[in-house]
Amino acid sequence: MGFEPIVPQKELKYQDLRIYNDKELNNYTDSELKSFKIKHEIPVVEQLESGPWPSFVADAKRLALHRRKLSQDRMMIDRDVVEDLLGQLEVSFKDGETHWKHGGIVGVFGYGGGVIGRYSD
């Protein structure tokens, strides 16, 4: 005996729910990727691309190019977030410390408590 909802449910189609179509998701060429420069200078971070293993930096650059070519009005967070993340990573390498803080749990007697999310200084 299978589960049947009490209230009739509308069938959802993937094509109707998509935010971007296939053309928008594959919106750059290999030549564009090779000539793409992010808005920050990241020479130290780019050295990570030269190793023998796949690099998260190369993946982040692909995503940054992809996001730059999409319209901002359909994005939930700023278009430049990936480029800014790579820029912050470069600063962390140069300074020798992380600039991405851990957050934590706080409590104040008489007021309550809560969680402080991760943040950047």
Question: Mind listing the pLDDT tens digit for each residue in 69-96?
Answer: 998 888 889 999 999 999 999 999 999 9
89 Cβ partners below 8 Å, 6+ apart? 42, 45
* Contacts of 2-5 spanning 24+ positions with Cβ under 8 A: none
Reported as a single tens digit per residue, the pLDDT across 9-58 is 989 998 888 888 888 888 999 999 999 999 999 999 999 999 888 899 99
Q: Look at phi and psi of residue 41 and say left if phi exceeds 0, alpha if psi is from -120 to 50, else beta.
A: beta
Q: Is residue 80, in this structure, part of any structural domain at all?
A: yes
Q: Is residue 79, in this structure, part of any structural domain at all?
A: yes
CA-based R_g, the chain, Å: 21
Which phi and psi angles does 96 have, rounded to 5°? 75, 20
Distance of alpha carbon 82 from alpha carbon 111, whole angstroms: 37
72 Cβ partners below 8 Å, 6+ apart? 78, 79
Q: Is residue 6, in this structure, part of any structural domain at all?
A: no
Please tell me the total count of domains within the chain.
Answer: 1
95: domain range?
A: 14-120
Secondary structure (DSSP) of 85-107:
HHHHHHHHHHHTS--EE--EEEE
| pTM assigned to the model | 0.73
Q: Is residue 4, in this structure, part of any structural domain at all?
A: no
* pLDDT band at 1; cut points 50, 70, 90: low
Q: Is residue 3, in this structure, part of any structural domain at all?
A: no
Q: Is residue 1, in this structure, part of any structural domain at all?
A: no
* pLDDT band at 117; cut points 50, 70, 90: confident
